Structure 1
Amino acid sequence: MKRRTSLAAPWLRLGRIERYVLLTQARSLAVALGVISALIMLIDFVEISRGVGSDVDLSGARILGLMLLKSPQVILQLLPFVFLFGTLGAFVSLNRRSELIAMRAAGLSAWRFVLPAAGAAFMFGILTVAALGPAASAADGLFQRERARLTNSAISTDSPEAIWIREGDDTRQMVIRADRQDRANARLIGVTFFIYSNDGAGVRTFSERIDAASATLSAGHWRLVDAVGAQLGQRAVRYATLDLRSSLADKEAFERFARPQATSFWALPAQIARVDAAGFSSTAYRLRLQQLLAMPLMFAAMSILAAAFSLRLMRLGDLARMSVAAVVLGFAFFFVNQAASAFGSAEVIPPWLAAWLPPLLTALAAFTLLFYTEDG
């Protein structure tokens, strides 16, 4: 009889040792996730109690519910540390029990148990981006709306219910400000239109201001009631009703743009298109999208980095020094990530570079250390 040949490549097949290492890593990751999650939820509980709870009389169960809506988004942001501390704890534990020494003495390459751990982290990163992230974003958006409702506040710059909208095309731009909105009737109350014209060279100049008691959006135009308009250098003219052409749909005009952190991965491309069409900067949303795409690589890089440091322990025999070095280096890459995000948000560097540079640097450092440890 002919022996059946497995279709999987040898390096894709997980032996008993690889499965044992993965199980040890999973237990250590669960402990790290539990500790970090408990700290975050405790901090959020106290913050909500002192913030929202000081303005509104809330029960402990209500504060707990708000905490459960807010905490997942923060926990996901700290998942790279979960993989750093969890993988480091797993491999240090294997090293302390001399199991890594036995594996190496048996001729097992470090790549055989480090790469499966990194692959598991990469797959968990994909799961986070595709499923856990959108759920956490939805919960964060619900928390923001519930907090605004409880404290009777909204995000604005000059009045609690101020609405700002921007629309236009290559020849005309309109900036619209309203005191408040009537969603049921697609109407703005106490509205001002600032109209700008664009010449052939792309230079934008102010041309007209129109104040109206109300403005209703329907059938591709704004219907202004009791309006007063004045073009640049001319006297004001009063209108009982006035129609202005609009490129907005009802939903686009009366829907506020969600924060990038409260927008799921699947909704980000459409959100970027909507923000660009409205004439606003979509840099924050583009940066968020690229960061989510780079998240699996960051998880895998943190796992390799932690494993590489723990492998050096059996040669150097200095557990405390190398563990502290791994933690310090992990925090250093975290601050590099924060600095890159700040530069990307300020448009100093492109959003894709700000998102991919930290995980690429982490991966390069991890592979360099692992190559040096394994091959000398």
Structure 2
Amino acid sequence: MLGDLFPSKTITLYLARLFVTRIVGVLFLLVLVLQMLQLLSESGDILKVPGNGQAELWYYVTLNVPQLIARFLPYSVLLATLFTFWPLNQNSEVIAMRAAGLSAHQILAPMLLTAGIISLISFTFNETVVAPRTGILKQWSGSRYAVLPKDTGVRTNVYVPDGLNILSAQIVSGTGPTTKLEGVTWYRRDAAGMVMEQVRGSRASFANPGWKLEQVTRFDVASTMQTSQPSLVVAPAVTPAQVAVGKVDADGQNVFQLARSIKAMKASDRRVSELEGKWWHKFAGPLSALLMPLLGSVAAFGLARSGTLLIRAVLGMALGFTYFVVDNAALAMGNFGGYPPLIAAWAPFMLFLLLGETVLVRTEE
């Protein structure tokens, strides 16, 4: 069975070795150039913080390089496909393999197998290395590269919907009924989303139901009148569980952590379509490397002396980059609710898989 899918062992290893070396070379150059540019861009902000020096610059590199590898690995596979097939076609090696009785699928099989292994490695690398470092880098850059405090369980800048209204707190501490809010603001809004009243309190505690604000200042938008009172209970529909679920960074969590965050968000009646789309994309994204040999294979077939080799290479590159554009657009549409999360994550992959296979079959004919 395997003999029908793959060419001989010698050809399989030859094509796989060519493909891997070009992937590594292209990826190394892309990451090196882009990391240098980003380091030049961010080094000023890093070094202007008192106490930061060369160690912090290297720390930034260790956090950022995994992101660049994950982001540009599919592009590297696409370019490596073209750089592999171009000389094979130019030197008539593809013609020799076809003359020996190999089909287009058999010639492509070693590269598809290699790309499949790379997709599996990419998924593992993303979940174990990239995700935690992405979360740390976002927190560090958000603090303008100051020293990150230890995790004390205190959350900042929390916003919770209360029907049409919004409850916000600058600092949230504690859990369950003992949850405490500081720097609290409650916005009462009309059906059109316009703020009708703003209520501020220095602190708040759970009143079961609602939240009891202390040292309250109320501002009525219509009358522009401001009044004060010792306490006031607001947001009766907001529970401590909803407050406990802050903003979720899908890029900074692995699939298991993100699944738990989505479950918690659903329990607190929060919108999760964007997070679900990104959860599915954690599986579909790495598989984009598997598509690249299929989309770039158009450069492998056809006679080099016909003068269309360059056109075929450009066409293969265009197909690959079009996939990334469509993938990002579909994910964005899913985030806005235009597509269900499952379709937004997987539809581009399935569409270009069929497109690439169609091109290859027509080439076979």
Matched, 1:309 2:299: yes
Residue 75 (structure 1) aligns with: 69
Residues 296-347 of structure 1: per-residue CA shift (max 9 Å, x gap):
4422221111123222354745433322232233223322223323323332
Post-superposition Cα deviations, 1:83-134, rounded to whole Å, max 9, x if no partner, equal: 1111221222333343322222211222113133223313322332244344
Structure 1 match to 2:151: none
Unmatched 5+ stretches in structure 1: 1-7, 155-160, 199-203
Report what 1:189 is aligned to: 182
Equivalenced residue count is 352
2:86 paired residue number? 92
**Residues 170-227 of structure 1, C-alpha deviation per residue, up to 9 Å, x if partnerless?**
xx787321233446984221223457999xxxxx9x9998643322459998565455
What is the CA distance between 1:136 and its match in structure 2? Answer: 0.6
Matches within 5 A, 1:1-376: 9-11=2-4, 15-16=8-9, 17-54=11-48, 58-150=52-144, 163-166=157-160, 175-182=166-173, 186-193=179-186, 211-216=200-205, 224-226=213-215, 247-249=239-241, 253-254=243-244, 256-314=246-304, 316-375=306-365
Distance 1:280 1:68 in 2: 34
Q: Is the 8 A contact 2:6 2:107 kept in 1?
A: no
- DSSP-derived class of the 1:312 partner: coil
One-letter amino acid of the counterpart of residue 185, structure 2 = T
Q: CA deviation at 1:144?
A: 1.2
**Aligned equivalent of 1:157:** none
Contact 1:163–1:179 (Cα < 8 Å) also in 2: yes
Is the Cα–Cα contact under 8 Å of residues 220 and 248 in structure 1 kept in the other structure?
no
Q: Is the 8 A contact 2:26 2:76 kept in 1?
A: yes
Q: Please give the root-mean-square deviation of Cα atoms over the aligned residues, in Å.
A: 4.0
Deviations 1:227-256 (A, max 9, x none): 57999xxxx89566969686334xx63563
**Partners of 2:296 and 2:319 within 8 A in 1:** no
Higher mean Cα deviation, 42-51 or 16-25?
42-51
Alpha-carbon offset, residue 25 of structure 1: 0.9
| Counterpart position of 1:4 | none
Which stretch of structure 1 is more off in the superposition, 352-361 or 20-29? 352-361
Distance 1:209 1:272 in 2: 30
1:294 shift after superposition: 1.9
Matched residue type, 2:311: R
C-alpha contact (below 8 Å) 1:215/1:225 kept by paired residues: yes
Three-state SS of the structure 2 residue aligned to 1:41 is helix
How far does residue 359 in structure 1 lie from its aligned partner after superposition? 2.2
Give the residue type in structure 2 aligned to 1:264.
N
TM-score if structure 2 supplies the norm length?
Answer: 0.78
What's the counterpart of residue 223 of structure 2? none
- 1:18/1:112 contact within 8 Å kept: no
Q: 1:143 offset after TM fit, Å?
A: 0.7
Q: Distance in 1 between matches of 2:267 and 2:161?
A: 7
CA gap 1:62/1:191 in 2 versus in 1, 3 angstroms: same
What is the DSSP-based 3-state SS (H/G/I as helix, E as strand, rest coil) of the residue aligned with 1:281? Answer: coil
The CA distance in 2 between the partners of 1:31 and 1:212, in whole Å, is 58
| In structure 1, distance between residues paired with 2:218 and 2:362 | 73
Q: Contact between 2:6 and 2:12, CA under 8 Å: does it hold in 1?
A: no
TM-score, structure 1 as length reference: 0.76
Residues 316 and 365 of structure 1: CA distance in aligned 2, closer, same or farther (over 3 Å): farther
